[in-house]
Structure 1
Amino acid sequence: MAIDVDKDGKVGCAYYVAMDEALVLEEDISMGGIEAVETFLLHVQPTSVIIPNRSPSDLIEFLERDAHRPDDGIDSESGHGAYILRHVVSMQFDYDSGKEALANIDPGQTEPSGVEVATAGEEPVLSIGSLAHGRLMRLAEKVNLESCLSVGCASAILTDLERRRVVEDTTSSFDEPTFQFRVRSIEMNTPIDTMLLSGDTLISLQILQSELHPNLQTRSSNGSEPKAKEALSITGLLLALASSAQGKRRLRQILLRPSTNIRLIQERHRCIEVLLRPDNAEVTKHMRKLLRKLKNTKTLLLHVRKGVDRVRGQLSIRVGDWKALLRFAMVSAQLKRAIHTLEKSVGVEIFDRIRTEIDVNRFLHIGDIIIRTIDFQLSKESGHTEIQTEASEYLDGLRREFADVCHMLPEIKESVVRESPREAAQYIRHCTVMPQEGFLIAVGLDPETGEGIYHGQGSLEGEWMRYFTNEDAVYYKNQLMLDLDSQYGDLPSRISEEEIEVIMALAAAVLEHEEPILGAAELFGELDSMLAFALAAEKYNWAAPTLTSSNTIDIKGGRHPLQELLVPSFIPNDCSIAGGCGGGESGQGAAVGQSEEKPSTLILTGPNNSGKSVYMKQVALIVYLAHTGSYVPATHATVGVTDRILTRIATRETVVNDESAFLVDLKQAAFSMNFATRRSLLLIDEFGKGTNSESGSALLAAYLTYFLDLEVEAPKVLAGTHFHEVFDNGLLQSRQTLAFAHMDVRLDPEAEDPEDQVTFLFRLLPGRGTSSLGVLCAAANGVPTEVISRAEEIVALLDKNESLVDAYSKLSEKDEQELAQAKLVARRFLTLEVPALGRGQKKNEFKIREMLEAVLAIEHVGGTLRA
């Protein structure tokens, strides 16, 4: 992945998918900043990130935070997974070079595509009708050339691919298939018909949440780079229900790019409805079993495209790949038959495409070719790929000839023994034939000399030619071996070469159908993703939402899809809000009426731990799931098209980042104000808590007022706060588009156990909550009693609007008594008359002591002090 950010915060991005051999460009995002970069990282999960040397410092610091270094262990807690960060010269991000390089790519070519670097002073001819102009016009059909930063990122990607190809050519071995880093397709992701989800939104709503895999061996692919797995999240919840690699991949694409196309969403709902029909239950169960048998088709075809070669005595394309391709052909036919048996499936796009686009006869033909070529039983026994008999007449002839030679080897040994001295016979072990070496005589090894004990000495033809030595034998050739080599040639190598030719012919035959195979795999991935949605709806009791063009959200009995899995029972709640109706769109009359009846901003107050944050998140997740085409956790939901979900919920701090928690909150708030539209949904949870209450409440009031003042362009806002002074002091003016709600609780102050003094009902009620019950929450969570008592005193004084300074400047009754006693002692001491004594007089010493004791002698009589 290549990322570039200019001085104004515009973000460009391009990345290369090695498995698909596809170069993907993103639309430039104005004022995207670090938030947009984080979103790209979460979507793509790159293994390598390239940035120019001129990158701003905040981008470098952000990327270095999760970058993988060679000396890093496997204990990184990165949410994005480790990647290698590389700084390159800024010229590699040149827009003109990127545009020219993209125009010169031919996706249909068989050789890897590289960057054509123009010579100094040479400029491409762009006159109308020229070849370069024609290429540029074709490129403009697929790529928005106005996204200058992303085009420059594509230039850096292509340059890096060329470098990687050179490295692979010089360092690759034949042990494993290697990527050729060619570009077979160019794509551009545009925000059209796609809901925008920022990185904060993805993490705050737990749509994505990665953690290191608990298995140390699984964490590390090459001994150093940590691997992450999906934790409890919406993505993890649904991916676990997909059956195939294609399905998981397609489902992740759907989840990370929710659609705003109502027709597409309704089509997915129709598909899920068919799959959930009771009379289709057995068919859908059978289809899931079939899909589990499919391996990643793109990986299989990648191995086939790499070609074959003899490596260590076996073919480099594993027999398991051929078996997987054969299984794909069989499963394709079975899935198509299953689709035909689905009730009410006619007219649903995905099912109709499978019926019309998948050619079962083509796939069965591929399977028949594989069966007639590969001997799977013999391959299983031998451990490597074996060719079927009758797959090649020439190969069969070579095998028969080699078998005859093998039968002759004992006779050849006897012939060698007869021509050798009698005492040498015991040292000649056997005769053999080896690839590239031909016929050889194996003789016992003399450990003292390192030579064979006998190697032709004393024979008529003289000493034999030594070829090589292994652990306990030395191999020689004599004239007989040379004659046999001349007569039969290198039979093992010829057999190996012919096997390679047969496998290459099989690979060519399969690759003739590559596009239909990949197309079918994509259809099966789409089907698998819909089966996952259907299984989630059935397993978790989700209902079909209604998507509308009206700018409204109306939810009945909504639930949090993750929270309800972690508690014994979950209390559902409703939600009814509507955004602005500006823009003059056609067909928005209903929206105008609804926006007059429903508020655009709903402020939640009430006790801590009562469920306010869960409620806001569940509303956002229901809206999000509705736009993916999934059913939603609610009794009923009518969801208006929402272009983006923005959050100010989670304050993600780190010791690496020198920004305070309050500054992080402010940046999230600024991002939502810059990007929110009337069709956006905003979640604001406890904004302003990072500073003093006066400034925090003022900022919250101004923040909410900003959105309310937008009127017909106002977004839908859910806000939770404990700043009651915002409302008590009139900082937020009452208006029709503003509503209040709180979470219901029951109080029992007489209960002995602090945990029993407050009961959370987790039920949303209209109106403001008057208290956050923070002291009771503290008592229920083990805060010491003296701290709770002190807090209750302070709260009581604040509720009476009394001055804390005046209240705590008064002395307690005990302190007042001690002060009065001290004053009385002081007055008595000052009035004490001490007699004057002359030199040497000691008779009054004890009288003075008695006088002082009398001064200190004080008694309480009737509540007063007396001497």
Structure 2
Amino acid sequence: MTVDVDRDGKVGCAYYIAMEETLVLEEDIPMGDIEAVDTLMLHVQPTTVIIPNRAPGALVEFLERDAHRYDDSEGSSEEQGAYILRHVISAQFDYEAAKEALASIDVGRPIPDPIQVRSPEDKPAQSIGSSVHNKLMRLAETINLDSCLSVGCAGAIITELERRRAAEEPSWEDAGGVAFRLTSIKMNTSAGTMLVSADTLTSLQIVQSELHPNPQRRSSNNSEPKAKGALSITDLLQALASSAQGKRRLRQMLLRPSTDLDVIKERHRCIAALLHAENSEVAQKMRTLLRKLKNTRTLLLHVRKGVDRIRGELAIRVGDWKALVRFAMASAQLKQATHALRGTSGIEIFARICTEIDVKRFMHIGDVIMRTIDFQLSKENGRTEIHLGASEYLDGLRREFADVCQALPEVKESVVREVPREAAQYLQHCTVMPQLGFLIAVKLDPETGEGVYHGQNHPDGQWMMCFTSGDIVYYKNQLMLDLDSQYGDLPSRIADEEIEVMMALAAAVLEHEDAILSASDLFGELDSLLALALAAEKYNWTAPTMTTSNVIDIVGGRHPLQELLVPSFIPNECVMAGGCGAGRLEEDNEAPKNGNKGPAPSMLILTGPNNSGKSVYMRQVALIVYLAHTGSHVPATRATIGVTDRILTRIATRETVVNDESAFLVDLKQAAFSMNFATRRSLLLIDEFGKGTTVESGSALFAAYLTYFLDLGVEKPKVLAGTHFHEVFEKGLIRPGKDVAFAHMDVRLDPEAEDPEEQVTFLFHLLPGRGPSSLGVLCAAINGVSSRVIRKAEALVALQDRNESLVEACSELSEEDKRRLRQAELVARKFLELQVPSSSGEQGEGSTIREMLQAVLKTEEVGTPSP
């Protein structure tokens, strides 16, 4: 992955997916800055990150936090972190050079260039009519060449791939493979996609993972970092997918929610069809079949690498060929199951499976593999074995080799007849080995290190020793040489022919590579939708109604993660409507009504006690909106969701010891990001903004922040805010109106209860109006804060309620302090009453004074001393 950020905060990014051999470019993100980089890191999860050496210091510091670190203090090179961070010269990110590099790459089938209008003197490679210019014109059909930073990043990727190809062992090409080859180029655009920042992804627990706490587990040369998963929406839904293709496709859907109503409604229709009672058995059969599918891209990558000629073995594992056979069989069965589904007319995914899956082609692939590889014999022998009949030439070599092996005892007998009688007992056997040919085995003489007999007094002279193995020495004599010239190196010829057969099989399979990958992607799409359908059935989710109206109308909404962790979950409602905007739509007049109180507000401010469920409520609303845009059903009784272009949050304050920014500064940056990117179709979550400073400054900032959005008029977004700054409302800084509504979470209080936990009962039910108090002191008592602290806090709260000065209250002494002061005063008075003898007194007066002082210090309080 390559990343670049310019002075204005514009972000460019490109990354290479080795498994798919695909180069992906992101559109330049204006004013994205580090927040956009953070989001891209969560999406891509790279193993290597490359940045130019002119990269801003903020970008370098951000990426170095989770990068591999090398500890060479003791000569070790143990790696820690999520990825390798590399700095390269800025020239590798040059825009013009990157365009030429992109144009020089041949992806797919070559398309003939149009007639070139160029004279021999024309030198510029990108002149009109040149080959490079024509390729750039075709490339511009799929890539936005105006995204200069991302195009430059793509150039750096191409340079890196060339470097890695050059560093690969020559055996790769000898084996018929191409290291780090590039077969496709595509660009991800922001059009039709909801903008979700990294803060939103983590705050809402859409994606949540952390590095494994044990560095030994993290240190690996594998392509994927070791990470410890946490409870998140992505993990929850990916666990329901049956195949690697489905899990990958589901993650893509979750990290790139769509704002295209046609796409969303198509997914909803597909899920509804899969949930139909008549289709339940077929859907379950599909899940069973999908579990049999391995990652076809990995399988075809192994096939493409071919056979390792250097080792002379069949490098493609038998399991890979068997997986391809299973894929062929499952493809036919999945297509048959798709035909059996009811009520799927007009749904694109099922139509494509029925029309694009060529069962005859896949059955032919499976049949070719089955006729070539003997799976049973391969399992018994632990190596790839080729069927009889797969190659006539190979069968002939095998028969010839079998005949030779049967004749080896006779060859030994002929050798025995020619040697002295006393030497015959030392001849063990005759054998044939790859590249060494025919050999005679003789017992080893430990004293000489040679065979006991090795041709002494033989008419043909002494034998030629080849090698020693254990107590056996292998020799060649004239008979062995004659057999070599007659039969040649049969084992090597058989191995070479087996390689040729497997290469031919690999070529036959790769002829259908595009069809296999296309089918695999279709099955991945099907698996992701089956996972969403299973989630809807398992967790009682319902299909939302999507609309172009800028509204949120949720009845019986639930938090999809929180409800899994509690015995019972209290559902709540939410009714909101954002501004109609300059491009007013007729549907915007259909905003939901908030009961009998007029139009729905654009801003809902939550108050009330801590631990009452305000943050959970805000998150569940955002998650329902989010899931609706992924095409999933949502945890609600009923939901009408307007198209939302982005979800922005000011909830979680992510701090690290390597970040020198204060918590309050991080909050301010999140707030500024929301102000810069919010539109009328955005949803903002603001939880306790301003809490990191004084009450006066925090409440003022909070009121000003919310007022900013209210003053946007027809461009105002939908805002969910939670706060404990009651001063904002008591001083009239924000008043309820048609655009602002107050709500709080219901609680029941019992002040007479002795146990603090019984004094308050949280009902987790949303009620209209402002909550009277945050009950912070009571929450502290419930959570085990000392009773002495609680009593002091209650006294201070009571003084505040009476508008009395807290200075005197804070300066008031405790009973213990008062007792100690009275004791000290009594000691002082007793000391002043002492009759100290003059210095000219009798000897021994010093001890008498000491005793007098000790008596004063031992004075005990018997009451309040008189003045």
Question: TM-score when scaled to structure 2?
Answer: 0.91
- 8 Å contact 1:558–1:635 — kept in the other structure? yes
Q: In the alignment, what sits opposite 2:746?
A: 744
User: 1:246-395 to 2 correspondence within 5 Å?
Assistant: 246-310=245-309, 312=311, 314-395=313-394
Q: In the alignment, what sits opposite 1:433?
A: 432
How far apart, CA to CA, are the structure 2 residues paired with 1:812 and 1:641? 61
Q: In the alignment, what sits opposite 1:706?
A: 708
CA deviations 1:422-449 (Å, max 9, x no partner) are: 2221221111111111111122222333
- 8 Å contact 1:678–1:712 — kept in the other structure? yes
- 8 Å contact 2:80–2:215 — kept in the other structure? no
Q: In the alignment, what sits opposite 1:117?
A: none
CA deviations 1:744-774 (Å, max 9, x no partner) are: 1111111111111111100000111111111
Opposite residue 356 of structure 1, the aligned amino acid is T
- 8 Å contact 2:551–2:591 — kept in the other structure? no
Q: 2:619 aligns with which of 617, 620, 632?
A: 617
- 8 Å contact 2:93–2:152 — kept in the other structure? yes
Structure 1 residue 216: Cα displacement: 9.5
- 8 Å contact 1:76–1:226 — kept in the other structure? no
Structure 1 residue 802: Cα displacement: 1.1
Q: Please give the secondary structure, in 1, of the residue aligned with 2:747.
A: strand
- 8 Å contact 2:606–2:614 — kept in the other structure? yes
Opposite residue 806 of structure 2, the aligned amino acid is L
Structure 1 residue 587: Cα displacement: 3.3
User: 1:574-589 to 2 correspondence within 5 Å?
Assistant: 574-589=573-588
Q: Please give the secondary structure, in 2, of the residue aligned with 1:597.
A: coil
1:242–1:76 Cα change, 3 Å: farther
Q: 1:159 aligned to 2:190?
A: no
User: 1:69-84 to 2 correspondence within 5 Å?
Assistant: 69-71=69-71, 82-84=82-84
- 8 Å contact 1:74–1:220 — kept in the other structure? no
Identity score, percent? 73
How far apart, CA to CA, are the structure 2 residues paired with 1:600 and 1:336? 48
Structure 1 residue 364: Cα displacement: 0.8
User: 1:592-671 to 2 correspondence within 5 Å?
Assistant: 597-671=599-673
Q: 1:724 aligned to 2:726?
A: yes
- 8 Å contact 2:313–2:499 — kept in the other structure? no
Q: In the alignment, what sits opposite 1:192?
A: 191
How far apart, CA to CA, are the structure 2 residues paired with 1:827 and 1:443? 117
Q: Please give the secondary structure, in 1, of the residue aligned with 2:140.
A: helix
Task: Indicate the larger mover: 150-159 or 136-145.
Answer: 136-145
How far apart, CA to CA, are the structure 1 residues paired with 2:860 and 2:134? 113
Q: 1:784 aligns with which of 783, 786, 796?
A: 786
Q: In the alignment, what sits opposite 1:23?
A: 23
Opposite residue 271 of structure 2, the aligned amino acid is I
Opposite residue 143 of structure 1, the aligned amino acid is I
- 8 Å contact 2:47–2:223 — kept in the other structure? no
CA deviations 1:708-745 (Å, max 9, x no partner) are: 11111011111111111111122224432011110111
Structure 1 residue 383: Cα displacement: 0.6
- 8 Å contact 2:71–2:77 — kept in the other structure? no
Q: Please give the secondary structure, in 1, of the residue aligned with 2:169.
A: helix
How far apart, CA to CA, are the structure 2 residues paired with 1:69 and 1:814? 55
How far apart, CA to CA, are the structure 1 residues paired with 2:16 and 2:201? 23
Opposite residue 19 of structure 1, the aligned amino acid is M
- 8 Å contact 1:581–1:591 — kept in the other structure? no
1:395–1:829 Cα change, 3 Å: closer
User: 1:525-544 to 2 correspondence within 5 Å?
Assistant: 525-544=524-543
How far apart, CA to CA, are the structure 1 residues paired with 2:181 and 2:677? 37
- 8 Å contact 2:176–2:304 — kept in the other structure? no
Structure 1 residue 490: Cα displacement: 1.1
Opposite residue 25 of structure 2, the aligned amino acid is L
How far apart, CA to CA, are the structure 1 residues paired with 2:578 and 2:516? 46
Task: Indicate the larger mover: 727-736 or 790-799.
Answer: 727-736
- 8 Å contact 1:2–1:14 — kept in the other structure? yes
Opposite residue 124 of structure 1, the aligned amino acid is P
How far apart, CA to CA, are the structure 1 residues paired with 2:643 and 2:770? 29
How far apart, CA to CA, are the structure 2 residues paired with 1:703 and 1:712? 17
- 8 Å contact 2:271–2:533 — kept in the other structure? yes
Structure 1 residue 450: Cα displacement: 2.4
Q: In the alignment, what sits opposite 1:683?
A: 685
Structure 1 residue 502: Cα displacement: 1.2
How far apart, CA to CA, are the structure 2 residues paired with 1:345 and 1:642? 28
Opposite residue 579 of structure 1, the aligned amino acid is G
1:180–1:745 Cα change, 3 Å: same
Q: In the alignment, what sits opposite 1:41?
A: 41
- 8 Å contact 1:18–1:179 — kept in the other structure? no
Q: In the alignment, what sits opposite 2:419?
A: 420
Segments of 5+ residues of structure 2 without an aligned counterpart are: 111-120, 843-847
How far apart, CA to CA, are the structure 2 residues paired with 1:776 and 1:813? 24
Q: 1:801 aligned to 2:798?
A: no
How far apart, CA to CA, are the structure 2 residues paired with 1:308 and 1:229? 36
Q: Please give the secondary structure, in 2, of the residue aligned with 1:20.
A: coil
Q: Please give the secondary structure, in 2, of the residue aligned with 1:193.
A: coil
CA deviations 1:457-494 (Å, max 9, x no partner) are: 21011111122222332221111111111111111111
1:785–1:416 Cα change, 3 Å: same
Structure 1 residue 127: Cα displacement: 3.2
Q: In the alignment, what sits opposite 1:565?
A: 564
Q: Please give the secondary structure, in 2, of the residue aligned with 1:315.
A: coil
- 8 Å contact 1:74–1:219 — kept in the other structure? no
- 8 Å contact 2:577–2:591 — kept in the other structure? no
Structure 1 residue 601: Cα displacement: 0.8
How many residues get paired? Answer: 840
Q: In the alignment, what sits opposite 1:8?
A: 8
Structure 1 residue 218: Cα displacement: 7.5
- 8 Å contact 2:750–2:759 — kept in the other structure? yes
Opposite residue 570 of structure 1, the aligned amino acid is F
- 8 Å contact 1:70–1:224 — kept in the other structure? no
User: 1:210-229 to 2 correspondence within 5 Å?
Assistant: 210-212=209-211, 221-222=220-221, 226-229=225-228
- 8 Å contact 1:204–1:650 — kept in the other structure? yes
1:773–1:389 Cα change, 3 Å: same
- 8 Å contact 1:77–1:212 — kept in the other structure? no
Q: 1:511 aligned to 2:513?
A: no
How far apart, CA to CA, are the structure 2 residues paired with 1:821 and 1:239? 71
- 8 Å contact 1:395–1:499 — kept in the other structure? yes
CA deviations 1:288-334 (Å, max 9, x no partner) are: 11100000011111111112235655301111111011110100111
How far apart, CA to CA, are the structure 2 residues paired with 1:281 and 1:46? 38
User: 1:93-112 to 2 correspondence within 5 Å?
Assistant: 93-108=93-108
Opposite residue 710 of structure 1, the aligned amino acid is L
User: 1:451-530 to 2 correspondence within 5 Å?
Assistant: 451-530=450-529
How far apart, CA to CA, are the structure 1 residues paired with 2:435 and 2:387? 24
Q: Please give the secondary structure, in 1, of the residue aligned with 2:100.
A: helix
- 8 Å contact 1:560–1:617 — kept in the other structure? yes
- 8 Å contact 1:858–1:866 — kept in the other structure? no
1:300–1:616 Cα change, 3 Å: same
Segments of 5+ residues of structure 1 without an aligned counterpart are: 111-120
- 8 Å contact 2:442–2:474 — kept in the other structure? yes
1:651–1:812 Cα change, 3 Å: closer
Q: In the alignment, what sits opposite 1:403?
A: 402
Opposite residue 532 of structure 1, the aligned amino acid is A
1:155–1:535 Cα change, 3 Å: same
CA deviations 1:754-812 (Å, max 9, x no partner) are: 11111110000011111111111111111111010000001111111111114445678
1:419–1:142 Cα change, 3 Å: same
How far apart, CA to CA, are the structure 2 residues paired with 1:766 and 1:733? 14
Question: TM-score when scaled to structure 1?
Answer: 0.91
